[in-house]
Amino acid sequence: MQRRDPREAAKARIGDVARAAGVSTATVSRALTFPDRVLEETRERVFAAVRQLGYTPNVAARQLRAGSSRTVLVVVGKRRNPPFFSEVLRGIDVALGQAGYSVLMGNLDIHDDNTEKHLVDLVFGGFIDGALVLSNAIPSFNGRSIIDSGMPIVAICAEADGPNIPAVLVDDEVCCRAQTRYLIEMGHRHLAYIAGPKGNFNELERYPGFLAELAAAGLGPDDFVRFEGNYDFASGVAAGEAFLKLERRPTGVVSCSDEMAIAFMKTIRRAGVRVPEDVSIVGFDGIEIGDYVEPTLTTIRQPRFELGSTGAEILLGMIKGETAPPRVTVLKGELDKRDSAGPVKV
């Protein structure tokens, strides 16, 4: 097969494709943009002509004519948790990709004063159709927020600070109660709690769940110790070191993230503390590494892929002007009982 000169391909126009396929330019445009709306036989003729001529659609021009960029901004916050969010992002990418949308990533963890300005300018410039914000990450610059644009926005994993922004969440309080209840049911009466960042949306839900479950079991402030954390490995190490210095050590540990639980577990095991014989540990997230540590981590498995895909589907509905989405969509977490938690040693 003779290869076409790239210079010839660059000259191909939509009219050339239409003539080669024996259809109108409108049909060519429809076949390339909404192929399911064109008869299969016609669609195949158009695609064959595109391949033959080496035609490349002018996507930017098509978007301007349609009044849509078919691009969604996904914003990740400064307190990101890569092992957790990777699967959320995959859910977003799959759902948007199937609908023909592209993803533009905005990472607020980059220490660059121009990052938020750039994202805000893109939104107000009409280059974005909608936004998915993870962990309450709302880009703003000089008092102007992307919320002010009126563009559809959906929050994932935490509610956003803005009026009527739909959110897709896991019931953090219910899940933390399940963590705590599991340890109490195995006889643990002196617990530790490794917290998330102060003021964090999820932490504000989880800690009350922990306290409520303690109260339901007749336990109070003297029956637990709280270690501050930041959802990362370093926090788990710090909590482990603080635990080792205690005169009276808890026998059960509720951690608000798997990263902290894994680092905590490694720190105390290196000091000779056995898991779960001496201390039982329950994490929160269900990241893959928890399946490969020793012992395997008992955890709350969040439906991470579904968090992302559900948020994306709600946003697509808003972009298309469909029925108003629910204010909050709550997905269920699941307690996965593995090897890091067991009955208290009598």
pLDDT of amino acid 56: 61
Whether 125 is in a domain gets the answer yes
Q: Are 118 and 144 in contact (CB under 8 A)?
A: no
Do 210 and 263 belong to one domain?
yes
Q: 195 and 267 share a domain?
A: yes
What is the CATH classification number for the domain harbouring 46?
1.10.260.40
Q: What is the CATH number of the domain that holds 222?
A: 3.40.50.2300
Assign 3-state DSSP to the chain and report helix, strand, coil percentages, each to 5. 45, 15, 40
Same domain, 183 and 296: yes
Whether 212 maps to a domain, the answer reads: yes
Is residue 57 reached through a cis peptide bond, with omega within 30 degrees of 0 on the bond before it? no
Residue 62 domain-assigned (yes or no):
no
| Mean pLDDT, the chain cut into blocks of 10 residues (346 residues total) | 40 86 87 73 85 65 59 82 88 96 83 76 87 85 82 92 88 98 98 95 96 98 97 96 97 97 98 98 96 97 97 95 88 97 90
Residue 21: closest CA among 44, 40, 55, 4? 44
Cα of 122 vs its chain's centroid, Å: 22
Of 36, 57, 78, the domain-final residue: 57
Same domain, yes or no, for 247 and 283? yes
Asked if residue 294 is part of any domain, the answer here is yes
Per DSSP, the residues of 283-345 read EEE--GGGGTSSSPPEEEE--HHHHHHHHHHHHHHHHTT-SPPPSEEEEPPEEE--SS--PPP
Are 90 and 102 part of one and the same domain?
yes
Specify whether 209 is located in the same domain as 298.
yes
Residues 221 and 113 in one domain: no
| Whether 296 and 213 share a structural domain | yes
Verify that 152 and 176 share a domain, yes or no: no
Residues 146 and 138: beta-carbon distance below 8 Å? yes
Residue 338 lies in a domain: no
Domain identity same for 19 and 74: no
In this structure, how many other beta carbons lie within 10 angstroms of the beta carbon of residue 110? 11
State how far the Cα of 256 lies from the Cα of 210, in Å rounded to an integer. Answer: 10
- For residues 52 and 79, membership in a common domain is answered with no
* Domain count of the fold of the chain: 3
- Tell me what pLDDT residue 65 has: 47
Residue 253 belongs to domain spanning: 172-302
Q: Per the domain annotation, does 63 fall within a domain?
A: no
Q: Are residues 289 and 316 in the same domain?
A: no
Interatomic CA distance for residues 21 and 79, integer angstroms: 53
pLDDT of residue 262: 98
In-domain check, residue 340: no
Asked if residue 181 is part of any domain, the answer here is yes
Structure confidence at residue 251 (pLDDT): 98
Among 21, 27, 29, 26, smallest CA distance to 49 is for 21
